[in-house]
Amino acid sequence: MVTDATAYEFEYPQGHLLADIDWLDENRAAPGVVLLDARAKGYEEGHIPGAVQFDVKVLKDAYGHTFASEDAIRQALEQSGVDIGSTIVVYDDGQGVLATRLFYVLEYVGFRDRVKLLNGGYTAWTAAGKHVSTEAPDVRPGTLAVSPDARLVATRESLQVGVPNSLLLDARSAGEYTGQDARDNRKAGHIPGAVHKEWKESLGPADPQGVVRFKAYAELKRELEELGADPQLTVIPYCQSNQRGAHAYFVLRLMGYPDVRPYEGSWDEWGNSEGTTVSTGEA
């Protein structure tokens, strides 16, 4: 049986979306719990026992502007053991964007409020002296019917028309936002009207063991309010490919924002399309 309480249950408005080490250690082998390792490397050298390696890249289409097909997402999840009634726990190294990207797509395809992110990630697990494994678990394929929720995503077309009562949140670096860093895009800058908060500003400093966790509720609340991110607004995060934007999505969900719609195409689409306008300079 899966127990609900985690150390964060009463710290954040949606604290059930975060898992702590003790909760995971108690529940990782419970029926219905699927643990997904979203790290780009390191799985073979050691992972949390029972965790299934998951390649987050399969969640995007070949062009990078939108999600992979429903069938591709469904098959990837089923092959990882995700079933229609699963509770899913995701992790990376604790200071990246891969686990939050997986979290967002899982909520988008129908697992809203049934996914937990391990705060501090694999680094927190090993720092706590927990057992690690180098053996891949036997996976019993699941059976799913994914149901993408259009209310959880913004599109270029919707942004060009204008989303009422909304706030655009650019989660990229300061250089990308101001236009000083164009990367490989045709256009540099940001979507007009967007405010800036780099995704990693929501994380606290590393502790003495190198573990990075999310900032405390009061600090995140103050920072979001200073941006003008009112919970009554539709908040639309974006970045280059909606990995950093998905991290912002998770933070806003954790903080209790009811209407968060990442722009899936992000700057990869906006900064390389005809007919899109851009702004440069500071906010």
110: burial class by Cβ within 10 Å (0-12, 13-18, 19+)?
middle
239 is catalytic: yes
Helix (H) / strand (E) containing 261: none
| Residue 156 DSSP class | H
Q: How far apart are CA 201 and CA 222, in angstroms?
A: 12
Burial 66-104 (b: 16+ CB within 10 A, else e): ebbeeeebbbbbbebbbeeebbbbbbbbbbbbbbbbbbb
Sheet containing strand 18-19, strands side by side: 18-19, 115-118, 87-91, 33-37, 52-53
Written as six digits, the tokens of 109 are 């395809």
- Within 10 angstroms of residue 142's Cβ, the number of other Cβ atoms is 17
Active-site pick, 21, 97, 168, 239: 239
Which residues does the annotation mark as catalytic? 239
